[in-house]
């Protein structure tokens, strides 16, 4: 049976590989995500999905307050991490950042700075709609913040 519509149901999660899992969990919890679960994923079956062979990965799944989006944080124990794209500039090709909408961008920045967040440029206003900024979070991860200031 053919359909003109795709089979897509939802975006399940965004995955980020980190070195310090506890620090990353604390940062994203401060942002407002809730730790949904944490565990060790290992074995040949997991390597068949990733193409890495036998692997051991400690993961943490965090969920947004609305329950619709998830962030999977992974710390590879084996095989060893072989690349590092965390400090890529904003105009680099490939995965760049994840963006979150917040109620109060100034308050959020104050709280996240206590976890090491640094503003990349500055907080700017887009028309009468949003205030936006990029920050570098734990381990230099690029994260966008958006605060809606008026309903369009």
Give the pLDDT score at 151: 67
Give the pLDDT score at 92: 83
For the chain, the distance separating the N- and C-terminal CA atoms, rounded to the nearest angstrom, is: 40
Regarding whether 149 and 115 lie in a shared domain, the answer is yes
* pLDDT-flagged residues of the chain (< 50): none
**Residue 4 belongs to some domain of the structure:** no
**Residue 103 belongs to some domain of the structure:** yes
Distance, CA of 115 to CA of 16 (rounded, Å) = 18
Regarding whether 91 and 74 lie in a shared domain, the answer is no
Q: State whether the Cα torsion 108-113-115-119 is positive or negative.
A: positive
Domains identified in the chain, total number: 2
Regarding whether 92 and 148 lie in a shared domain, the answer is yes
Its pTM stands at 0.88
Which residues are CB-neighbours of 9 under 8 A, at least 6 positions away?
A: none
């Amino acid at each position: 049976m053919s359909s003109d519509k795709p089979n897509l149901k939802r975006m399940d999660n965004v995955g980020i590989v980190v070195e310090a899992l506890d620090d990353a969990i604390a940062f994203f919890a401060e942002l407002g995500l809730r730790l949904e679960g944490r565990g060790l994923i290992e074995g040949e079956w997991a390597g068949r999905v990733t193409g890495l062979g036998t692997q051991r990965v400690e993961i943490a799944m965090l969920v947004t307050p609305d329950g619709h989006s998830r962030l999977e944080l992974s710390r590879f124990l084996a095989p060893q991490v072989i690349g590092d794209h965390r400090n890529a500039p904003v105009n680099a090709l490939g995965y760049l950042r994840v963006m979150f909408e917040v109620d109060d961008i100034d308050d959020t920045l104050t709280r996240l700075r206590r976890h090491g967040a640094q503003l990349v440029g500055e907080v700017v206003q887009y028309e009468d709609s949003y205030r936006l900024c990029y920050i570098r979070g734990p381990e230099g991860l690029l994260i966008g913040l958006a605060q809606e200031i008026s309903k369009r």
